[in-house]
Amino acid sequence: MPDIDLDFADRKLALKLVHHIPARIKNKKHNTGIYTHRVPVDPYNGYCTIDHKQADNIGYFKLDVLNVSIYKDIRDDDHLGQLLDKEPLWQLLEHKDFSDQVFHLNGHSELLKILKPQSVEQLAATLAIIRPAKRHLANETWQTIFKEVWTKPIGNEYYFKKSHAHSYAIACIVHINLICEQLGY
């Protein structure tokens, strides 16, 4: 089954609009996963009785409904378009005090100093390298990185698919430009 993530400025408001059953991960509630169709429900806690991986194998379709708080500061579609169209100040990512403010990049300032991404493609690859399966590429050239970063790992290590990484890279660019806008750059 495909992995579908839906991003919202406020997850709780979005979930009020649709009947759903929270997914289970091991013996507890999944933080983001929901089912919008019939699944077996534990009457005591209200979430699915089957672990999400087993449920996926059975054919149940899970959605991940995520909070992406950067959206709360976007005024309208035009504002989003302006933030998307503006080339970010890439060199700001080399400064820990700035990069630690950016969605999905916080805590990875050392990697950003090494890779120095300068495009959406490079930023997407950087986001992929943050994940365990591709971490070994951190000190490679961009040529080597692009040759290997999007190949599926042999093991079961967590990694970012290309489409997922590019989506998050674009969200990071929006966030970088939003932070700069708020700082008056």
- Reported as a single tens digit per residue, the pLDDT across 102-160 is 989 999 999 999 999 999 999 999 999 999 999 999 999 999 999 999 999 988 788 88
Share of the chain above pLDDT 70, in %: 98
Distances (CA, A) of 20 to 9, 121, 168: 19, 35, 25
Based on the fold, state whether residues 85 and 49 are members of the same structural domain: no
Based on the fold, state whether residues 134 and 103 are members of the same structural domain: yes
**63 and 171 Cβ atoms separated by less than 8 Å:** no
Angle 48-54-60 (CA atoms, 0-180°, nearest 5)? 65
Structural domains of the chain, count: 2
Based on the fold, state whether residues 81 and 161 are members of the same structural domain: yes
pLDDT at res. 1? 62
CA distance 153 to 19: 36
pLDDT at res. 81? 96
Query: Does residue 4 have a pLDDT over 90?
Result: no
Based on the fold, state whether residues 87 and 175 are members of the same structural domain: yes
Based on the fold, state whether residues 102 and 155 are members of the same structural domain: yes
Q: How much is the pTM?
A: 0.78
| Residues spanned by the domain of 8 | 4-67
Query: Does residue 2 have a pLDDT over 70?
Result: no
Based on the fold, state whether residues 35 and 60 are members of the same structural domain: yes
21 beta partners = 35
